[in-house]
């Protein structure tokens, strides 16, 4: 289901968020499908339940999952999850563009790189 890389620079909860988001976006987890409980996933991944809880809480704040008291957490509609992932990717893109321009890379060069990707 979710693969963790303990050598990854990203925190474990971020890896869990990313893994769940990818499963929802790709359809491996259907909209409305119940997610594993915090305890189940913590046992499966052999990590602290608080880490899972943080990932679930942030996914819920981003509208990717929703919880029903007494029932558990469920995947939101695919369109909402895709939009959340898209927004996150665009935010990372903006940060990368800012960093690259601070390093002296011209906007024209970035545009050419984007056009090259479009042809692929």
Burial of 82 (0-12, 13-18, 19+ CB in 10 A): middle
10-46 pLDDT, tens digit per residue, is 999 999 999 998 898 888 999 999 999 999 999 999 9
Determine which helix (DSSP H) or strand (DSSP E) holds 51, and give its type and residue range: helix 49-61
pLDDT of 120 strictly over 80: no
The Cα 52–Cα 19 span in angstroms is 12
Q: Give the other-Cβ count within 10 Å of 95's Cβ.
A: 10
61-119 pLDDT, tens digit per residue, is 888 899 999 999 999 887 777 777 788 889 989 999 999 999 999 999 999 988 888 77
Q: Where are the domains of the chain?
A: 12-79, 81-119
Query: Cβ(92)–Cβ(98) under 8 Å?
Result: no
Q: What percent of the chain has pLDDT over 70?
A: 98
Q: Classify domain 12-79 by CATH number.
A: 1.10.10.10
Query: Cβ(38)–Cβ(81) under 8 Å?
Result: no
Global pTM reads 0.71
């Amino acid at each position: 289901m979710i693969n963790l890389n303990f050598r990854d620079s990203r925190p474990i909860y971020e890896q869990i968020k990313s893994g769940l988001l990818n499963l929802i976006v790709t359809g491996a987890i259907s909209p409305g499908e119940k997610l594993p409980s915090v305890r189940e996933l913590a046992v499966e991944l052999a990590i602290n339940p608080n880490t899972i809880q943080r990932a679930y809480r942030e996914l819920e704040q981003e509208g990717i999952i929703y919880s029903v008291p007494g029932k558990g957490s469920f995947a939101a509609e695919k369109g909402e999850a895709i939009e959340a992932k898209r927004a996150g990717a665009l935010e990372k893109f903006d940060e990368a563009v800012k960093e690259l321009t601070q390093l002296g890379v011209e906007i024209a060069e970035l545009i050419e790189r984007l056009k090259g990707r479009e042809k692929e």
